[in-house]
Amino acid sequence: MNNNILNFFGQDAADISANRVESHDWQAAGVDCIYIIFITGRCGSTWLTHLLEDSGICGHPHELFNETLMPRFNKSIEAANFKEYFTGAVTQFSSGGRFGFKIDEWRLSHLLPLIDFRTLFPAEITRCFWMTRRDLVSQAFSFGRAKTTGHWHDFTAKTTEQKQDHVELSDARMWKEIIDILAKERRMAALFQREGIDYVPLDYEQMLADRLLTVMRVMIELGCRYEEINSFIQRMEDKTLRLEFGNKYEVLGRFCARYGRLLLTLDKERQEISTDELKRRLQLDYGLSLWERGTG
């Protein structure tokens, strides 16, 4: 299997054993708490992690193992291989005795061959979070729009005027994004079960309803003192902006009107319904085929 993390260092899968990180001296690194935010994407994680970073005591929980972002992080780490990169990331991106990062299912599949999860992240000092989004339709649209326009985030420091993105996403594109999200959720659930990972559930809607309370609860899980949390909450400032609506509701209005019954079933049976069953219903009930040639 191709490994994007190793590829960044000009290496390949043959170099996995030489780069494998089995453990780390967290005490020597001054880290008392490790935390990992597992994500599906377009779920509010950037919003959350920027606020945690701004606290000054929760490290810098970036996507440290995202191959598209590693060049930026490695400018300060200056690592020649993954082992050096991991050690440097802990040193560079820890604060307040805490080291955190966020990661999606795809990047995790490239990280896991390079580490021993249980020994590298001891359960007694590691906190795991699983961040999703209840509104699958909006999440799918957000993915489709971002992939089409290349416009993923707006930040107050870099944005003088927010763009109104107008994109047309076909029904097939919307359903492919929905099915992809569900598949990621299933694979992540399998990982949690396989590795015995106990996690705190988070979602985008919590952030929308009360971002202050959500951040407070995460910081409590990370062992931050009440006085520290309260001091930060009093001065907390959002630096991540919600993207403008553009023609979102025009596109989703038509989509929901046509597939309302199936979407309601999905809302009720999100954990149970298989992606193959969704494809079957789309083909039989709506004449929409998402099967690849030679399948179905």
Domain CATH for 25: 3.40.50.300
Q: 291 in a domain, yes or no?
A: no
Which DSSP symbol is given to 15? G
The string of pLDDT tens digits covering residues 24-77 is 999 999 999 999 999 998 899 999 999 999 999 999 999 999 999 999 999 999
Question: Do the beta carbons of residue 8 and residue 71 sit within 8 Å?
Answer: yes
The pLDDT of residue 151 is: 56
Q: Looking at 66-135, list the stretches that DSSP marks H as alpha helix, in order from N- to C-terminal side.
A: 70-77, 82-92, 105-111, 117-120
Q: 16 in a domain, yes or no?
A: yes
Q: 148 in a domain, yes or no?
A: no
Number of domains in the chain: 1
Please report, in angstroms and rounded to a whole number, the separation of the first and last CA atoms in the chain: 26
The pLDDT of residue 159 is: 47
Q: 97 in a domain, yes or no?
A: yes
Residues found in the chain: 296
Alpha-carbon span 280 to 288, nearest angstrom:
9
What mean pLDDT is predicted for residues 259-271?
Answer: 96
Q: 249 in a domain, yes or no?
A: no
Count of C-beta atoms within a 10 Å radius of residue 82? 25
| Paired strand residues for 36 | 101, 128
Q: 234 in a domain, yes or no?
A: yes
Question: Do the beta carbons of residue 100 and residue 58 sit within 8 Å?
Answer: yes
Contacts of 256 by beta carbon, 8 Å cutoff, 6+ apart: 137, 263
Alpha-carbon span 255 to 248, nearest angstrom:
11
Q: 272 in a domain, yes or no?
A: no
Name the nearest CA neighbour of 137 among 246, 275, 42, 241: 42
Whole-number average pLDDT of the chain: 91
Count of C-beta atoms within a 10 Å radius of residue 73? 20
The string of pLDDT tens digits covering residues 220-256 is 999 999 999 999 988 888 766 555 567 888 999 999 9
User: What domain range is 38 assigned to?
Assistant: 4-134+184-244
Q: 147 in a domain, yes or no?
A: no
The string of pLDDT tens digits covering residues 197-220 is 999 999 999 999 999 999 999 999
Alpha-carbon span 259 to 286, nearest angstrom:
8
Torsion of Cα atoms, 191 then 194 then 195 then 198, to 10°: 80
